[in-house]
Amino acid sequence: MTMDKRLGQRFLPYGANYLDWSDMSELRAAVEQKVLFRYQTESESMASRLERRVAEEFGVSHVLAVHNCTEALRLALISTRPRTGDVVYIPAVTFVAVAGAVLSTGLIPVPVDVDDSFALDASLLPSDAQRVIVAHMEGAVAPLPAGVPYVIEDAAQALGASFPDGRPVGTAGYAGAFSFHHNKVLTSGEGGLLVTGDRAVWEVMRCYHDHGSARQPGHYPTWNDDAYYGENFVTSEEVAAIQLQQFRHLGRIVDGLARHYRIAVAELPQRPDITLLPRSAGDVKTSLRLRMESPELRDAAVTLLTRRGIANWTLNKYLLPEHPVLQGRRSLYADGFPWNLAEGIPRALSRDGFARTRSLLDRTLCVPLSPELSESEQVLAAKALRQTLEEL
């Protein structure tokens, strides 16, 4: 499959287009050192360099690199010292990994309906809510609920976004989780980051992520006298090295997305049956989000765009109450853990059984933007999109 720049066909998403051997000085250094485990390097590890770079970039005091964003969410939840069976409120529209992170820590996910922009509707939360995960979907900055002790930001799709007050997404809540999956803003294939402003919280996360002890670089293995059980979420040096390379391009990618967004918005046809979902100034403009008048028009647009080679996707698969894991409360444990602790806990919070949300999803179409294209190529891609939408 080749990439047709005239139409903006994205063969590789976002940061993947900026992977280049000539730009891999950190990866070469990690390989030449012949130590790919972060706690056995003689000098500062690549993972520590990455954490320091992110702390400086985001203005946070504590960062932890892990295997993936799901682990980051799990660590954030575990650090709250919950009881098994405690409730975690999550957006009804997000990737199933959020529910999986909750369940794998022995907690119960309760999907909460969303607003028109697909952000969690905090007005549905009970007054005694203790743990809430807010997802910044499609690079769109979601508001954080007030008065909740543990608000965890799932910023997997919003690296580089910022709140209206200028704070980077992921840094305003109790903790923030980021992803370097292949389809994210920056990529190392897999990979995750966890940020927090609380040193005590970070210490818990750091210990749990490496078998319950705080390791001393260059002196592995060592054990804390007060060690508790943990797991192995420690990132590797080659992954951290690729992430360092990717961070050099973050500003360029965010700026390229913003430029393509401006160009594409200006080219959109003036049709009363197609509405552009607005984006805030701080959003990472990963895509155009279009709301169609009817599901039939949305499906016709998907068919025609796909036929023309213009990348697009829908969001219906992200409606968690319809996912088998939540709908059937499935588990591999013989006793159904942790669902066996969910007696009396509502399956979801919604005013209308998600009827409005289903309608919104059925009429929503996303067209990804391409920061790696030159301005002239982005203009051509925008014109091709406009022509296709005009023909519907």
Domain definitions of the chain by residue range: 14-247, 250-319+354-390
CA atoms within 13 A on the CB side of 381: 33
Strand pairing of 131-135 and 150-154?
Answer: parallel
3 state SS of 243: helix
3 state SS of 36: coil
What's the CA gap between 99 and 88, in Å, rounded?
9
**What was the pLDDT predicted at 74?**
98
Q: Which residues of the chain have pLDDT under 50?
A: 1-3, 5-6
What's the CA gap between 219 and 198, in Å, rounded?
26
In the chain, the amino acid numbered 8 is G
Q: What value does the CA radius of gyration of the chain take, rounded to a whole number of Å?
A: 22
**What was the pLDDT predicted at 11?**
67
List CB contacts of 56: < 8 A, sequence separation 6 or more. Answer: none
Neighbours of 8 (CB within 10 A): 25
According to CATH, the topology of domain 250-319+354-390 is Aspartate Aminotransferase, domain 1 (3.90.1150)
**What was the pLDDT predicted at 75?**
98
3 state SS of 31: helix
Q: Which helix (H) or strand (E) holds 135?
A: strand 131-135
Strand pairing of 62-66 and 87-91?
Answer: unpaired
- Tens of pLDDT, residues 97-155: 999 999 999 999 999 999 999 999 999 999 999 999 999 999 999 999 999 999 999 99
CA end-to-end span of the chain: 26
Cα angle 162-163-166, degrees, rounded to a multiple of 5 = 75
CA distance to 143, 196, 300, per residue, from 282 (Å): 12, 20, 31
- Tens of pLDDT, residues 128-144: 999 999 999 999 999 99
Where would I find the H helices in the chain?
Answer: 25-33, 46-58, 69-78, 96-104, 199-208, 237-247, 250-267, 295-307, 324-327, 355-362, 375-390
**What was the pLDDT predicted at 12?**
78
**What was the pLDDT predicted at 222?**
78
3 state SS of 257: helix
What's the CA gap between 374 and 294, in Å, rounded?
34
What's the CA gap between 53 and 133, in Å, rounded?
25
What's the CA gap between 153 and 142, in Å, rounded?
9
CA distance to 261, 276, 385, per residue, from 271 (Å): 18, 10, 14
Neighbours of 339 (CB within 10 A): 19
Peptide bond into 82 cis (omega under 30): no
pTM of the model: 0.95
The per-residue pLDDT of the chain, averaged, comes to 94
According to CATH, the topology of domain 14-247 is Aspartate Aminotransferase; domain 2 (3.40.640)
**Does this chain's domain 14-247 share its CATH topology with 250-319+354-390?**
no
**What was the pLDDT predicted at 225?**
84
